[in-house]
Chains A and B, each alone.
Chain A
Amino acid sequence: MAAVAPLADAAQPVAEVLQRLREDTRRWARRELERPRLDAGAPELNRVLGGGWPVGKVGELLGPDSSGRTTAAMAAVAATTRRGEVAAWIDAADAFDPPSAQTAGVDLQRLLWVRVRGVEGAVRAAEVVLEVGGFPVVVVDLVGVHGGQRRQRWHRGGRGASVGSLRLRLARAAERANAVVLVLSGHPWAGALAGAVVPLAGRGGRWGGDGNGSLRWLEGVALEVTTAEVEAGERVGWRAGS
């Protein structure tokens, strides 16, 4: 019969394990803080994100309609193409508007637009693009495409991948390619695998003109960022407006 160690004797190893865990966590946090960042294309977003989108991670832009998710993603893509690099827009929502992208400063010749169907198709397309290399940012537009976390499985002809496996595949592909994958969604999708989550609250449009019977025009969408970025082991709340 095996001898059971008294509780007092076991306390010492537990303390050592906890100490080691703390050190590992600090080391991981330092590494994450030193992770290179990709220009988000807007000074306010860069400030909120601590320098930009973390490279090699999935970034998530969440919010309702007119909250500015697409504007924020397009700013990152525009900054990338302005540097002469190429980007990809995996458009599962089939909502991408080239004239808007042009207005936002995106060099359309340096943008790969993939109008794929379904979440699984979008993740597969993102993997294919990331395998090529040379795409520092890949946007995956899932707005209105999936049904949130409660829906765990999409079936297609009797086969389908679970949300968990899809988000894991996407995170691994981003890590391998050393690229930023921006997921646009109405609800949290990447979960704990997201390197940065930017929840946006819809604050309506920014309007020009006085509107008192005279000329009025839409200048853009107001962005209200309430970031809960998972970084350095703690959740930090930010609030900014543009």
Chain B
Amino acid sequence: MNRQPELGGGGSRTRGGEKSSDRLVSGWRVACLRVPSFPVQALRRSCPELAETPLAVAAGPTPRDEIVAVSAEAVALGARVGWTAAQVRQRAPGVKVAVTPPEVAAAAAEALADVAEGFSPRLRRVAPGEVWLDVAGVVPLWGSEPRLAGEVLRRCRRVGLEGCVGVASSGEVARVAARLAEGVSEGVVVVPPGQEREFLAPLPLPVLDPPPAVLATLARWGLATAGEVAALAREEVALRLGREGVRLHRLAAGEEDGAFVPDLRPEELREGVPLEFPLTSLEPFLFVLHGVLSRLAQRLEVRGEGFADVFLELGLEGGGTYELPLRLVAVTREVAAVQAMVRLQLEAHPPGAPVEEVAVRVVPGRLRLVQGSLFGPPQPAPGKLAQALARLAALAGTGRVGAPAVRDSHRPDPAAVVPFAPRPVAGDEAAQQPRGGPVLRRFRPPRPVQVVTVGSRPVVARLGRWGGVVARCAGPYRFVGEWWSEEPFARDEYDVATADGTVWRLAFDRLEGRWWADGVYD
């Protein structure tokens, strides 16, 4: 029996179809980016060594937990979604059963959202491994919707995920198109505007993912395709199948599913990985860290950003945590430079317990772009300079690389380091002319010096085997300040030439009553 129930007249169907079509033509264009077998792909992204392993991902660690995703290799060995972990182990012994840790799945989902954000600022994460993008308005940038979808997939591969894309005038239809795209070689299915109903009409109902009870009822009525459901009157469907029935009817008719409400994206990126056994030494830890940083660098690349601030978050044996903040000298995407900085910091500040979990949180920053001058002198390329600054910071230490600056203070040694960002040459820029004067080589820290004085003036100055009788002396230059603070200073400085030809800057600390050598003029 394939008799359809009489649920309404043709007028109602036509009216519904027209309404739907009018709204679709003037409405959204939504691309659904979907990653098939997402738990498997998320796990493989985090553990690349599992790339060739037949894999079945269970919902939990117990043997009774259900398998939620299987790899193609596991399917070939007979494993199926919906089995329990125990069933897979018994019936397909060559398949490895694993659990995708929540943080690994979350990081992969964020990576997918990063890819989507590279194409449209309006995106919505509807499920793990599935993102909808509002692409109305951005298609002209790429020429056509298939080209846009192809580029989305290419960038998706760069973050270690294989996806497929469906484009339609509503998110639900785009999702159906994305599911069908799994069987298409290009991985892309585009539904032309206004043709959603025609596209869906021949498709079997399970493709629309209705609730099992609704599907069973429709099967009893003899309805097998979306087109047959769309032909029903909505009011009658609502009477008999309720809210779920109306939702299915709207979907089958290819109607819009409400306003596209985009998600708010977090500013920070996070990637982490739990370890199978605690790590106690630095080298294996850095090996694990390299994978985490590489995945972050891939995500930053698709966002067009780089590492600005990095926070290393370690889970320690015994339940403790350890957070290490790293501030980079310049925004960079070079993993080796960030890793070198982590190495230096961990060597200086070890966590103090075996590490069980590694996570890295990143505050992204925009890479520096500079418009060079056509007629000005050549300048370092900003990208290469940023990488070099990060490598130098790893070599010399944070706060020891940058442009020198002079603090607005009369304290001794007013040197400071600020970020090195040379400004481009301006046409009306007046060159700074040298005022002339002695050049000091600083002792850091100042060295205690033995001084013999007559009155208050030094007549003999000796620093180790250097120095001697003072041949010439200028000064004192008195500096007194910050008497209102907890670190006041009061010192008399002298420029002194000793008999061996060396010219010193000596200072008498009036608060301590001691002589210091600030440096030597050279």
Contact = CB atoms under 8 A, between A and B. Distances in A.
B334 to A, nearest CB: 12
Contacts of A112: 401-403, 420
Contact of A207 (B404, B472, B501): B472
Contact of A66 (B423, B443, B520): B520
A221 B495 CA distance: 12
A131 B388 contact: yes
A86 B495 contact: no
A16 interface: no
Contacts of A97: 413, 415, 439-442, 519
A132 B385 contact: yes
B140 interface: no
B237 to A, nearest CB: 68
Interface string B376-415: 1111110011001001100111001111111000000111
A118 B433 CA distance: 33
Contacts of A105: 432-435
A205 B521 contact: yes
A116 B405 contact: no
A134 B503 contact: no
B249 to A, nearest CB: 63
A226 to B, nearest CB: 15
B283 interface: no
Given A125-B395, A133-B381, A102 B444 contact: no
Given A134-B380, A143-B441, A95 B519 contact: yes
Contacts of A101: 404, 439
Contact of A134 (B378, B405, B434, B473): B378
Contact of B522 (A81, A117, A132, A221): A221
Interface stretch (A2-10, A68-76, A188-196): A68-76
A66 B422 CA distance: 31
Nearest to B421: A109
Nearest to A201: B501
Contact of A128 (B392, B405, B433, B438): B392
B432 A107 contact: yes
Size category of the A interface is 35 or more
Contacts of B422: 86, 109-110
Contacts of A71: 438-439, 522
B268 interface: no
A114 interface: yes
A37 interface: no
Contacts of B402: 112-113
B212 interface: no
Contact of A99 (B406, B431, B443, B522): B406
Contacts of A83: 377, 431
Contact of A108 (B376, B404, B438, B503): B404
A81 B423 CA distance: 11
B76 interface: no
A98 B377 contact: no
Interface in A74-131: 74-75, 78, 81-86, 89, 93-117, 121, 124-125, 128-129, 131
Given A97-B519, A128-B391, A218-B521, A66 B501 contact: yes
B51 interface: no
Nearest to B384: A132
A104 B440 CA distance: 11
A141 to B, nearest CB: 8
B503 A204 contact: yes
Contacts of A102: 406
A205 B472 contact: yes
- Could you say which of B423, B520, B522 has the most chain A C-beta atoms within 10 Å of its C-beta? B522
B396 A116 contact: yes
B425 A84 contact: yes
A51 interface: no
- Could you say which of A98, A131, A143 has the most chain B C-beta atoms within 10 Å of its C-beta? A98
A70 to B, nearest CB: 4
B137 interface: no
A78 B415 CA distance: 18
B393 to A, nearest CB: 9
A109 B403 CA distance: 6
B205 interface: no
Nearest to B494: A218
B25 interface: no
Given A84-B429, A109-B422, A133-B380, A100 B404 contact: no
A96 B380 CA distance: 23
A132 B381 contact: yes
A44 to B, nearest CB: 14
28 contacts: A65-B441, A66-B497, A66-B503, A66-B520, A71-B522, A82-B433, A83-B377, A84-B425, A89-B404, A97-B441, A98-B404, A99-B406, A110-B403, A111-B403, A121-B395, A125-B392, A125-B395, A128-B391, A128-B392, A129-B388, A143-B522, A203-B501, A204-B471, A207-B472, A216-B474, A217-B495, A219-B438, A220-B438
For the complex of A and B, list the 5 residue pairs with the smallest distance between their C-beta atoms, beginning with the closest: A105-B434, A134-B380, A84-B425, A98-B404, A95-B441
Given A65-B522, A204-B503, 10 more contacts: A83-B431, A85-B379, A98-B415, A101-B439, A104-B439, A114-B392, A115-B396, A134-B378, A202-B501, A216-B472
Interface of A: 64-71, 74-75, 78, 81-86, 89, 93-117, 121, 124-125, 128-129, 131-135, 143, 202-205, 207, 209, 211, 216-221
